[in-house]
């Protein structure tokens, strides 16, 4: 596991992005980092769902899932986004070892980011999706620490059933869906570390 030290104050922590034009700037406060990962989570979530929709090798259970999801595609896109944002949050917690007060500020930024991305939604719905993002962070951490394989996939399937109450997922989980989701969180954790080279700096 990687450690970057602890700070007495969350305000003394800066997230430094070493190599990515996707972020609005190279140095971010914890709250700014939270806003950015909420935005990027939804960006990647929408793109990922679009790729799934356009795949040509989906089986009948995938088609059934998509048929239901297309009635309100925003929900599943947002859940994809929550998973990706949760992967960023997992990276901050489990790899960068950001102190608890810093993580609270990041989560505050996620909430603010979601508020901007979900205009017209109630405060409760926005807070629910912030909590879902935090739950995905825990699930992804269980995967990268090899405590529970497919933890984030199983959690996403649970949320899909919760948000689409009329959907009856078959015993055979859609294969195309699994291929698009399985390992997604851990891949984003690796990208944060190896490609975007995000680190913490104590000010």
Per-residue pLDDT tens digits for 140-192: 999 999 999 889 988 998 888 788 776 666 555 677 878 888 888 999 999 99
Alpha helices in the chain (DSSP H): 30-54, 60-69, 73-90, 100-117, 123-144, 151-163, 175-181, 184-190
| pTM of this structure | 0.88
Which pLDDT value is given to residue 49?
84
What number is the average pLDDT over the span 123-150?
94
- Whether the per-residue pLDDT at 203 is higher than 60: the answer is yes
86 contacts: CB under 8 Å, gap ≥ 6: 41, 132, 133, 134, 135, 136, 137, 139, 140, 152, 185
What number is the average pLDDT over the span 127-147?
95
Per-residue pLDDT tens digits for 33-82: 999 999 999 999 888 888 888 888 888 888 877 887 787 778 888 999 99
Using CA atoms, how far residue 16 sits from 24, 33, 74, in Å, is: 12, 9, 31
């Amino acid at each position: 596991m990687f450690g970057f030290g602890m700070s007495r104050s969350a305000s003394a922590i800066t997230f430094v992005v070493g190599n990515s034009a996707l972020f609005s700037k190279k140095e971010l406060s914890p709250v700014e980092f939270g806003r950015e990962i909420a935005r990027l989570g939804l960006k990647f979530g929408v793109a990922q769902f679009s790729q799934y929709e356009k795949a040509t090798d989906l089986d009948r259970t995938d088609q059934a899932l998509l048929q239901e999801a297309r009635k309100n595609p925003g929900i599943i896109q947002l859940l994809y986004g929550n998973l990706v944002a949760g992967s960023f949050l997992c990276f901050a917690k489990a790899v960068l070892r950001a102190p608890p007060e810093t993580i609270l500020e990041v989560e505050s930024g996620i909430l603010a980011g979601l508020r901007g991305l979900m205009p017209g939604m109630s405060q409760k719905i926005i807070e629910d999706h912030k909590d879902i993002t935090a739950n995905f962070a825990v699930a992804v951490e269980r995967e990268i620490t090899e405590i529970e394989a497919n933890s984030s996939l199983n959690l996403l399937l649970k949320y899909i059933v919760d948000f689409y109450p009329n959907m009856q997922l078959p015993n055979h989980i859609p294969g195309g869906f699994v291929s698009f989701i399985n390992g997604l969180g851990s891949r984003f954790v690796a990208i944060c570390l190896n490609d975007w080279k995000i680190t913490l700096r104590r000010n």
